[in-house]
A and B are shown apart, each in its own frame.
Chain A
Amino acid sequence: NAGVTQTPKFQVLKTGQSMTLQCAQDMNHNSMYWYRQDPGMGLRLIYYSASEGTTDKGEVPNGYNVSRLNKREFSLRLESAAPSQTSVYFCAISPRDRAGNTIYFGEGSWLTVV
């Protein structure tokens, strides 16, 4: 997973608390993504960013906000955490071209909301 760094790796939150998951890349790719992984649900896209300054909603954006301030960093914010947001969160990156290049994932962030 060299090239995509997520912090923190583990976090326990109380319901209603807020937090930000940070993601940074050193591969100079345009596209960045936030996914959540839940048992039996696979990987579901929360938000993605095709380039610096742009963001788009994915399949499950409710309860989340994102920020793409520069090409390297893409953060995911939970304003008021809920138990339903307990999940493993993955940041990912990909070149934005038509070569069909793969998507590279970070190591994941385990979030528990109690």
Chain B
Amino acid sequence: AQTVTQSQPEMSVQEAETVTLSCTYDTSESDYYLFWYKQPPSRQMILVIRQEAYKQQNATENRFSVNFQKAAKSFSLKISDSQLGDAAMYFCAYRSSYGNQFYFGTGTSLTVIP
């Protein structure tokens, strides 16, 4: 099974600053998808951004962008101009193109300091 590792259990950032959350994964596949999900205190899981492995261009969604390094199996999330509402648990996830399972990391708890 694929493994997803988030090595930062907790991170903090000043409001309006930029923060990067790390994620690495282990796979022997060449075709797959990567995701970042946000889980605020309400526990609702919200899709932040998605990256297709076959695309070299890094995905961007407003203030959220990724740095996808396929050879290094790294998929970090950059949050620019951090806002108080960005405070949440963030999960990195992997999905194979050939199967139905999603594999999640253990999460990074992000605190935004006013």
Q: Interface of A with B (CB < 8 Å)?
A: 1, 31, 33, 35, 40-45, 48, 50, 58-59, 88, 90, 92, 94, 96, 98, 100, 102-103, 105, 107-108
Contacts and interface: CB of A to CB of B under 8 A. Distances in A.
B44 A107 contact: yes
A90 B33 contact: no
B-side binding surface: helix, strand, loop or mixed?
A: loop
A41 B95 CA distance: 18
Q: How large is the interface on B (under 10, 10 to 19, 20 to 34, 35 or more residues)?
A: 20 to 34
Contacts of A41: 106
Nearest to A1: B44
Contact of B97 (A59, A90, A100, A102): A100
A105 to B, nearest CB: 4
B104 A42 contact: yes
B105 interface: yes
Contacts of A33: 102
B47 interface: yes
Contacts of B101: 45, 48, 58
Nearest to B6: A42
A102 B91 contact: no
A100 B32 CA distance: 8
Contact of B91 (A43, A45, A107): A43
